[in-house]
Structure 1
Amino acid sequence: MVDIKEIAKLSGVSISTVSNVLNGRKNVSATTRERILKICKEQNYHPNIMGKNLKAGKTNTIVFNFSDFDRSFYLKIIEGISDQLNDSGYDLIICTHKSAENLMKSNFSSGAISLDVKMSDEFFITLSKRKFPIVLMDRLIDNPFISSVVVDNYPVMYELVQVLVNRGFKKFGYIGGWKNTLDNKERFSGFLDCLTNNNIPFESKYYFDGNYHEESGYQAVIQLLVSGTLPEVLVCANDDMALGAIQALKEKNIKIPEDISITGFDDSNIAEVAGLTTVTIPYYENGSMAAKRIIELIEGKQLEAPYKIRAKIKWRNSVR
């Protein structure tokens, strides 16, 4: 098994830099942090910080687990969580699915923040029976020991589609994300409700399942082109799929926005470079609020309603 020395060597950094990343400290650049976390995942490395902290009698550690290293906005969320926890005297451990379960089920941590579609509702409900504080960033569960900080997807997607309708678009396509996620359900509901309320029919042949990665957006457009007809505008449930769709369209010499307009959701750094119309989410504030809520739960406060993060549209030149 690899140790922290090997991770440091593979990453081309010092052991202390690896330690800072694993402990959620903010004194490491985003690029370096992403590289180290990726190498940890590739090497299946999980730091043995649990034994050290249990021996020292520490109980002020918060676990943050997430499911996908490929999506850059996680770094902004981690920064927001880390800053808030550091200011409040808490430590942060960042991990993924299996290691997160072990950390949450032990006495190692005081609470957990989760953004991981792979973890079941039943697991979190079981944890809550031990009065273990949890903040979820991807779903809603009605439980006194579980709070949620989620993006308010529906109204901003409705607003986006309404503006497209006002601009004269009548033929819409949609690329969705993971079907069972709250984000995907709310974004598609906002999209479809707006069309329905404007008496614009949506043809099921223009709906494509994706998984929030570029390749699924690329493949959706390949399927779309087989039909021989294009919608006037293609609404995508996130930026990565929109960027994959743009790549496929450009390879077929289909011009954006002259031949087809396209929108995303997330406002990643690449989206700005690509000129993609999208929805901006304040991910740093998202993470900071999740950290505030976990601290409030630990302190015994009752948090009945979920906290919904407001988002706004960023119009760029991918829409005519």
Structure 2
Amino acid sequence: MVSIKDIAKKAGVSISTVSYALNGSPKVTYETTARILAVAKELNYVPNAAARSLKTRETKIIGIFLTDFSGAFYGDLLQGTKETLTQKGYDLIVCSGKQSHRLLPERTIDGAIILDVTFGSEELISYADRGHKLVVLDRELAHPNINQVLLDNKAGATLATEYLIEQGHRTLYAVTGPDGSFDSKQRLQAVTQVVERTPGVKLTVIEGDFNKAGGEQAAAQVMADSGGGAAPGAVFCFNDEMAIGMIDYLARHHPDVRVGEQLHIVGFDNIELASYTQPRLSTIDYSKRKWGALAAEQLLKLIGGDAVEHERIYVTLFKGNSVGGNT
């Protein structure tokens, strides 16, 4: 790899002069800078970003860490994050898996947005203790170097559960996310609270995984509970992908079951695919793009030393026609 030492030797100048020229310093004349840049181009010089970041203590790169990239959820979130960072002169890299955690202690990035269950909370606190700036989307952590931008999961789950009960349902199913999911735990807590204060309502919890396959498995369990007859009650799936999986399963294996009449389903996230279900899925709606944008804004404030307050993304109930027909 070509270094600035090679450029200095070929251009007949000092290493410091090359460094000044490559960084656009006025300490070097226009003619000398032009000659050095021409030599750098001739030698195919590529700046060493790692070395530069050690000197400037910034990379102008932000990392967003996700548990995985599957499903239709992440596109708008990432787009909102990227748009905000680009406006401020930062680049974004998307990371997944435990090996990517080293980007923080290696200071390959200036800060991180976390939506990744492979990070333990103690691990994140240890990074924050060492001065790393973090925004978490999937947990509550108290630290001056950590900001929270969380979905209002409890409000969303409360809206969904109360809506199903208002439609006259007394047999409810809740299809959760994977074990360890902060969002799933928050939603289940809210569902349970609504049911406990509503006499005569029975709740069955089915463990899901936030994937379409989890919805298919949940549908099979719901139908097994019906004993082969008409599907009972109503289902709140903790995300749209599982709700779509449930609708698809019923269409293939139980075409006689009319979703929206015999079995009522509500999802969470209002992803684009939900608009194509028949009947149209009722779901908890919020702006994923705004969530990503706000997370980026908060992280840049942290990096800049500005005061920040924890933020919450508010939600609403989108009423499709999967509960009692058009609403």
- TM-score, length-normalised on structure 2? 0.77
1:316: which partner in 2? 320
| In 2, Cα distance between equivalents of 1:298 and 1:231 | 52
In structure 1, give the amino acid aligned to 2:232: P
In structure 2, give the amino acid aligned to 1:53: A
1:298 to 303, 322, 326: 303
Look at both structures and tell me which one has the larger radius of gyration over its CA atoms.
Answer: 2
Once structures 1 and 2 are overlaid, which stretch shifts more, 217-226 or 232-241? 217-226
Over 4 Å off, 4+ runs = none
Aligned pairs (5 A) from 1:135-174: 135-174=135-174
Q: Is the 8 A contact 2:60 2:110 kept in 1?
A: yes
1:76: which partner in 2? 76
Residue 268 of structure 2 aligns to a residue whose secondary structure is coil
Aligned pairs (5 A) from 1:106-121: 106-121=106-121
| In 2, Cα distance between equivalents of 1:221 and 1:72 | 20
1:252: which partner in 2? 254
Aligned pairs (5 A) from 1:48-67: 52-57=48-53, 58-67=58-67
RMSD: 1.7
2:15: which partner in 1? none
Q: Is the 8 A contact 1:132 1:145 kept in 2?
A: yes
In structure 1, give the amino acid aligned to 2:260: P
| In 1, Cα distance between equivalents of 2:306 and 2:232 | 50
- Does residue 186 of structure 2 align to residue 186 of structure 1? yes
| In 2, Cα distance between equivalents of 1:210 and 1:76 | 23
| In 1, Cα distance between equivalents of 2:182 and 2:152 | 10
1:226: which partner in 2? 224
Shift in Å, 1:164: 2.1
Q: Is the 8 A contact 1:176 1:210 kept in 2?
A: yes
In structure 1, give the amino acid aligned to 2:322: S
In structure 2, give the amino acid aligned to 1:252: H
Cα distance change on mapping 1:52 and 1:239 into 2, 3 Å: farther
1:286: which partner in 2? 291
| In 1, Cα distance between equivalents of 2:139 and 2:249 | 32
1:237: which partner in 2? 238
Shift in Å, 1:59: 2.4
2:25: which partner in 1? none
Structure 2: gaps of 5 or more residues? 1-46
2:24: which partner in 1? none
| In 2, Cα distance between equivalents of 1:306 and 1:160 | 25
Shift in Å, 1:94: 1.5
Q: Is the 8 A contact 2:160 2:266 kept in 1?
A: no
Q: Percent identity?
A: 27
1:206-229 per-residue CA deviation (whole Å, 9 max, x = no partner) reads: 211011001011011212222335
| In 1, Cα distance between equivalents of 2:123 and 2:97 | 12
Shift in Å, 1:54: 1.3
Residue 71 of structure 2 aligns to a residue whose secondary structure is coil
Residue 93 of structure 1 aligns to a residue whose secondary structure is strand
- TM-score, length-normalised on structure 1? 0.79
Q: Is the 8 A contact 1:63 1:100 kept in 2?
A: no
1:265: which partner in 2? 268
Residue 249 of structure 1 aligns to a residue whose secondary structure is helix
Cα distance change on mapping 1:52 and 1:209 into 2, 3 Å: farther
Shift in Å, 1:99: 4.3
Q: Is the 8 A contact 1:150 1:309 kept in 2?
A: yes
Residue 168 of structure 2 aligns to a residue whose secondary structure is coil
Q: Is the 8 A contact 1:140 1:306 kept in 2?
A: no
Shift in Å, 1:201: 3.2
Number of residue pairs aligned between Structure 1 and Structure 2? 267
Structure 1: gaps of 5 or more residues? 1-50
Q: Is the 8 A contact 2:232 2:262 kept in 1?
A: no
1:88: which partner in 2? 88
| In 1, Cα distance between equivalents of 2:312 and 2:200 | 29
Shift in Å, 1:317: 1.2
